[in-house]
């Protein structure tokens, strides 16, 4: 039988690799040597790091705080983020030889513009610290046996025994990367709960067949995407690049809005996704523009500020002939067009699912963890980190920052000497 390990990290993604590194470093700092193994079911390690940010890996964002996240309470999220902030992430990667650069959007990428640099640096640090990364080694189940954990492989390999476990199996997004939600079952078997709702987030939305948006594939423009309750209350709004596709909508604004829309719709079937194609303008301001066309055509005026294909589609949807000139634009169609431009209600059929979702909303609630160590309150010796927790962030590097911070706290917490010695 293999010796009992000090620490087994389940899942060698962003959070798991950070936990393993932080655990091994913390032990070294206190003059101890611990045996750390990271187990991952995937055939290729770090798939998500490699695909992230279009292959450039958006490692973090220059301004991270709890307001960029949803799920557990802001106070709980803040506590973990503060334990390992953006400056520490930058310093951590610099120490590993990865310089980060900040782009205009506030996103930080490696100067190489190559995600491989990030993954290679993490794996190199694991090797330096003597961490064994064992893969493909899919965990089927974990059970507590006295003061240790027995980790059973899904393929019948000999079990791994460890005094401490960090569960960092991610969520359900991009299941072919190895993150298929099995970690939730492992957490539940160890006594944790998971949120009643586990839904895709940062996910493109499928618009009802026949809607004009689907005929505008490739059109992209800055727009405000708002989630509105049936009573008209603004629940969330994001102004950013918006992309029309053959199935519906994507782009940062839509991805950010998606989790709010999908949640709202479950509580309130009348909840709507509403787009203002001219951010900053209102129904009144556009109605006034349309009333003062003078000799210009409707299309001529809209084309100045919107892609022509969209301008034409908005006219058609409002029943306005695009060549209409000032005086002949009747009140009813004019108002319909002003509504279409600034408050376009988009009928959403569904979302594109976990295959296309960048993250998962929902998971293990943070109130089941001691946030100073990410240790389970229900199963001492078990720590959790990353997307398996009930925290999802906006697009822009926030999700990795959550993984780095949680991995750091969990790894150090798990490497601390146990009270018994
Ligand atoms: C296409 C795409 C692009 C993205 N781009 C960005 C970006 O640029 N910036 C950003 O901040 N975020 C981005 N994200 C989100 C980010 O990748 C995740 O939030 C982050 O990877 C979560 O880290 P994690 O370690 O918690 O989980 P994961 O990265 O999902 O890692 C979990 C690991 O656990 C393993 N695992 C799961 N179950 C088992 C099991 N039973 N046994 C053994 N191993 C198991 C998996 O194989 C996987 O390696 C992107 C996501 C996607 C899908």
Q: For the segment 329-382, what is each residue's pLDDT rounded down to a tens digit? A: 899 999 999 999 999 999 999 999 999 999 999 999 999 999 999 999 999 999
pLDDT band for 294, please (50, 70, 90 cuts): confident
Q: What is the pLDDT of residue 369?
A: 98
In the predicted structure, residue 411 carries a pLDDT above the cut 70: yes
Per the model's pLDDT, the better-predicted residue between 2 and 79 turns out to be 79
Q: Is 42 in the pocket of ligand 1 (CB under 6 A)?
A: yes
Backbone angles phi, psi at 151, to 5 degrees: -105, 115
Taking only the tens place, the pLDDT of each residue in 51-61 is 999 999 999 99
Looking at 330, 351, 372, the residue that finishes a domain is 351
Cα 362 to ligand 1 centroid, rounded to whole Å: 14
Per the model's pLDDT, the better-predicted residue between 295 and 391 turns out to be 391
In 3-state terms, what secondary structure has residue 200?
strand
Q: What is the pLDDT of residue 258?
A: 98
Residue 366 shares a structural domain with residue 234: no
Q: Is 386 in the pocket of ligand 1 (CB under 6 A)?
A: yes
Cα 171 to ligand 1 centroid, rounded to whole Å: 7
In the predicted structure, residue 402 carries a pLDDT above the cut 90: yes
In the predicted structure, residue 419 carries a pLDDT above the cut 70: no
> How many CB atoms are closer than 10 A to CB 367?
12
Q: Is 36 in the pocket of ligand 1 (CB under 6 A)?
A: no
Residue-averaged pLDDT of the chain? 96
Structure letter (DSSP) for residue 113: -
Residue 160 shares a structural domain with residue 225: no
Whole-angstrom distance, CA of residue 207 vs CA of residue 250: 10
Residue 324 shares a structural domain with residue 244: yes
Cα 46 to ligand 1 centroid, rounded to whole Å: 8
pLDDT band for 407, please (50, 70, 90 cuts): very high
Q: What is the pLDDT of residue 359?
A: 98
Q: Which two tokens stand for residue 22?
A: 């932080």
Cα 69 to ligand 1 centroid, rounded to whole Å: 17
Decide if 310 contacts 282 (C-beta within 8 A): no
Best residue for ligand 1 mutational test, from 8, 9, 11 (most atoms within 8 Å of Cβ): 11
Residue 158 shares a structural domain with residue 281: no
Residue 111 shares a structural domain with residue 170: yes
Taking only the tens place, the pLDDT of each residue in 217-260 is 999 999 999 999 999 999 999 999 999 999 999 999 999 999 99
Residue 90 shares a structural domain with residue 157: yes
Residue 34 shares a structural domain with residue 181: yes
Looking at 300, 333, 351, the residue that finishes a domain is 351
Q: What is the pLDDT of residue 421?
A: 43
| Burial of 156: CB neighbours in 10 Å, binned 0-12, 13-18, 19+ | exposed
Can you give the pTM of this predicted structure?
0.97
Q: List CB contacts of 358: < 8 A, sequence separation 6 or more.
A: 173, 174, 201, 202, 203, 255, 395, 399
Whole-angstrom distance, CA of residue 385 vs CA of residue 183: 11
Please tell me the residue having the least CA distance from ligand 1 atom 30. 170
Residue 38 shares a structural domain with residue 65: yes
Please tell me the residue having the least CA distance from ligand 1 atom 17. 48
Domain annotation covers residue 420: no
Residue 131 shares a structural domain with residue 65: yes
Q: Is 183 in the pocket of ligand 1 (CB under 6 A)?
A: yes
Q: List CB contacts of 116: < 8 A, sequence separation 6 or more.
A: 50
Domain annotation covers residue 421: no
Per-residue burial over 196-210, b if 16 or more Cβ lie within 10 Å, else e, is: eebbbbbbbbbbeee
Domain that holds residue 214: 205-351
Rounded average pLDDT over 107-131 = 98
Taking only the tens place, the pLDDT of each residue in 137-175 is 999 999 999 999 999 999 999 999 999 999 999 999 999
In the predicted structure, residue 208 carries a pLDDT above the cut 70: yes
Residue 339 shares a structural domain with residue 365: no
Q: Which two tokens stand for residue 133?
A: 């990364």
Q: What is the pLDDT of residue 417?
A: 85
Whole-angstrom distance, CA of residue 309 vs CA of residue 212: 10
Task: Provide the number of structural domains found in the chain.
Answer: 2
Looking at 351, 369, 394, the residue that finishes a domain is 351
Question: pLDDT > 90: what percent of the chain?
Answer: 95
Q: What is the pLDDT of residue 366?
A: 98
In 3-state terms, what secondary structure has residue 167?
strand
Cis peptide bond upstream of 93, omega within 30? no
Per the model's pLDDT, the better-predicted residue between 421 and 108 turns out to be 108
């Amino acid at each position: 039988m293999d010796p009992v390990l000090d620490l087994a990290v389940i899942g060698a993604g962003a959070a798991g690799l950070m936990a393993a590194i932080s655990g091994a470093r913390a032990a070294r700092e206190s003059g101890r040597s611990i045996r750390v193994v990271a187990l991952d079911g995937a055939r290729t390690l770090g798939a998500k790091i490699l695909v992230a940010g279009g292959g450039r890996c958006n490692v973090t964002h220059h301004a991270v705080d709890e307001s960029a996240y949803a799920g557990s309470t802001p106070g709980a999220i803040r506590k973990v983020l503060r334990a390992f902030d953006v400056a520490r992430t930058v310093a951590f990667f610099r120490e590993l030889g990865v310089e980060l650069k900040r782009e205009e959007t506030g996103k930080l990428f490696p100067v190489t513009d190559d995600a491989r640099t990030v993954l290679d640096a993490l794996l190199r640090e694991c090797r330096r610290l003597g961490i064994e990364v064992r893969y493909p080694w899919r965990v089927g189940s974990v059970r507590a046996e006295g003061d240790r954990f027995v980790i059973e492989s899904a393929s019948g390999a000999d079990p791994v025994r460890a005094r401490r476990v960090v569960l960092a199996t991610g969520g359900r997004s991009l299941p072919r990367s190895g993150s298929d939600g099995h970690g939730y079952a492992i957490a539940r078997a160890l006594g944790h709960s998971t949120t009643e709702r586990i839904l895709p987030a940062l996910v493109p939305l499928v618009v009802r067949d026949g809607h004009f948006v689907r005929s505008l594939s490739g059109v992209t423009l800055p727009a405000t995407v708002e989630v509105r309750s049936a009573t008209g209350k603004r629940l969330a709004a994001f102004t950013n690049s918006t992309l029309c596709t053959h199935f519906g909508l994507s782009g940062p604004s839509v991805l950010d809005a998606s989790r709010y829309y999908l949640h709202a719709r479950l509580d309130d079937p009348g909840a709507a996704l509403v787009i203002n194609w001219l951010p900053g303008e209102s129904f009144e301001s556009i109605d006034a523009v349309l009333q003062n066309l003078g000799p210009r055509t409707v299309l001529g005026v809209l084309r100045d500020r919107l892609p022509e294909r969209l301008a034409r589609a908005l006219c058609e949807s409002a029943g306005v002939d695009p060549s209409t000139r000032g005086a002949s634009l009747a009140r009813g169609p004019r108002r319909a067009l002003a509504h279409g431009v600034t408050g376009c209600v988009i009928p959403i059929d569904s979302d594109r699912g976990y295959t296309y979702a960048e993250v998962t909303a929902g998971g293990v609630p943070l109130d089941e963890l001691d946030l100073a160590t990410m240790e389970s309150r229900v199963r001492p010796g078990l720590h959790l980190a990353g997307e398996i927790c009930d925290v999802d962030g906006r697009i822009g590097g926030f999700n990795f920052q959550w993984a780095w911070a949680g991995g750091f706290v969990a790894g150090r917490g798990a490497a601390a000497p146990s009270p018994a010695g």
